[in-house]
Amino acid sequence: MKYGIAIFPSKNIQDEANSFRKRYDPHYALIPPHITLKEAFHVEENELKDMVTELKRIANETKPFTININKVSTFAPVTNTIYFKVEPVPALMDLQKKLQEGTLTNNLTHSFVPHITIGQQLMDDEYSDVFGTLKMSKFTFEDTIDRFQLLYQLENESWTVYETFVFGKEFI
């Protein structure tokens, strides 16, 4: 089965992201706004219990931290993706790194850029218009992160939470 690990920000950040995603992100209906910590990967059923134990250990070693979003950015020219830029605070970067070590295979295909996608797969003209407008807008969000989620992908390609791991509160 295909799994992934993500952080879901607070409702006000999700609402703001969704106000753009409804129109500019074809994955809008597949997953709520999130910060991807570990890209999609496959786990066999017999390996799942050990992986969950490892995720609980990582969650217990992690203290809640604050993220800040102050602007939109883009992955252009590689892709026409527009996102809320999440400032790369050490606690977030360390958490993401831990999720690539030990029994959790490193499946990074590119360097980790913390973000919340608000538009993707845009045609060049639409991308230029939308990004041009959004980069002039001011976005200021602060959020306390105290958990991450293990997700799995359904047959219709949507993602759903398998388990939530709360920092410092997991029983192994």
Q: Which residues are catalytic?
A: 34, 115
DSSP state of 29: T
Task: Tell me the pTM.
Answer: 0.95
pLDDT value at residue 171 = 84
pLDDT in tens, 76-132: 999 999 999 999 999 999 999 999 998 888 888 889 999 999 999 999 999 999 999
42: confidence class by pLDDT, cuts 50, 70, 90: very high
Angle CA 106–160–7, to nearest 5: 55
Question: What pLDDT does 172 receive?
Answer: 73
Assess contact for 170 and 56: CB atoms under 8 A. yes
| Among the listed residues 102, 95, 120, the one whose alpha carbon sits nearest the alpha carbon of residue 38 | 95
User: Is pLDDT at 53 greater than 80 in this prediction?
Assistant: yes
What burial letters (b/e) apply to 60-77, b meaning 16+ CB within 10 Å? eebeebebebeebbbeee
